[in-house]
């Protein structure tokens, strides 16, 4: 009987010790590692509600110009179409959450190698009280094809951002081209 109780207490001690080791110590180490990961730097800081003007231009010359009046968005270029207040929420959310993934160079000798001498996309937006507007230039794809070379109008610095922003912009041009999306009612 003595050995059974001793073995049972030893087994309980091992289970409790294992629990403490794996769930308390290892968990604490994992949390510390996560806390040490640097937070990505946002490209722009702004309030979505305060954005009043957006211009999206492709390198080919295509442009979409949105303006907000009385809480309603409308396309004013290339055609005039009245929209609803939530029409650009996805786009603005993507722009607001756009983060610099990696800094490439502070002073590029040439923007051409990044496709930023003639950007494939230019995103310009203005919030209430902004002078001048904020501008983001997007160039070539990074070799991984998951990122795009970018820079802002207020700095020569080149960095990379996630390619989701290009998808959001392409969606806007596709909606306009095919006359669908929140600005177009069926049959318009």
SS3 114: helix
Task: Tell whether 97 and 28 lie within a shared domain.
Answer: no
**DSSP code at position 153:** T
Q: Is the same domain home to 169 and 100? A: yes
Residues 74 and 163 in one domain: yes
Helix (H) or strand (E) holding 174: helix 164-177
pLDDT value at 188 more than 50: no
Domain that holds residue 104: 41-177
The pTM of the full predicted model, rounded to 2 decimals, is: 0.71
Share of the chain above pLDDT 70, in %: 81
Secondary structure (DSSP) of 35-85: HHSPPPEES----GGGEEEEEEEETTS-EEEEEEETTEEEEEESS-EE--T
Cis peptide bond upstream of 132, omega within 30? yes
Same domain? 29 vs 105: no
Q: What is the Cα–Cα distance from 25 to 175, expressed in whole angstroms?
A: 52
Same domain? 49 vs 85: yes
The verdict on 10 and 83 lying in the same domain is: no
Task: Indicate whether 25 and 99 sit together in one domain.
Answer: no
Is residue 186 in a domain? no
Q: 12-46 pLDDT, tens per residue?
A: 878 877 777 777 766 666 666 655 555 678 888 88
Q: What is the separation of C-alpha 81 from the centre of its chain, rounded to a whole number of angstroms?
A: 27
Residue 183 placed within a domain: no
- Number of structural domains the chain divides into: 2
61 and 33 assigned to the same domain: no
């Amino acid at each position: 009987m003595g050995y059974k109780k001793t073995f049972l207490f030893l087994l309980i001690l091992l289970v409790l010790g294992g629990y403490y080791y794996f769930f308390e110590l290892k968990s604490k180490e994992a949390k510390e590692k996560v806390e040490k990961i640097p937070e990505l730097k946002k490209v722009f800081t702004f309030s979505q509600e305060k954005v009043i003007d957006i211009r999206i231009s492709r390198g080919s010359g295509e442009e979409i110009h949105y303006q907000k009046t009385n809480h309603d968005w409308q396309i004013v270029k290339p055609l005039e179409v009245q929209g609803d207040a939530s029409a650009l929420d996805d786009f603005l959310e993507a722009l607001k959450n756009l983060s610099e993934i990696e800094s490439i160079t502070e002073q590029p000798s040439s923007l051409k190698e990044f496709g930023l001498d003639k950007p494939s996309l230019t995103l310009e937006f203005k919030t209430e009280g902004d002078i001048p507007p904020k501008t983001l230039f997007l160039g070539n794809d990074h070799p991984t094809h998951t990122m795009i070379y970018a820079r802002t109008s207020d700095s020569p610095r080149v960095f990379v951002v996630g390619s989701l922003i290009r998808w959001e912009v392409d969606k806007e041009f596709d909606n306009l081209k095919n006359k669908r999306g929140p600005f177009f009612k069926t049959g318009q």
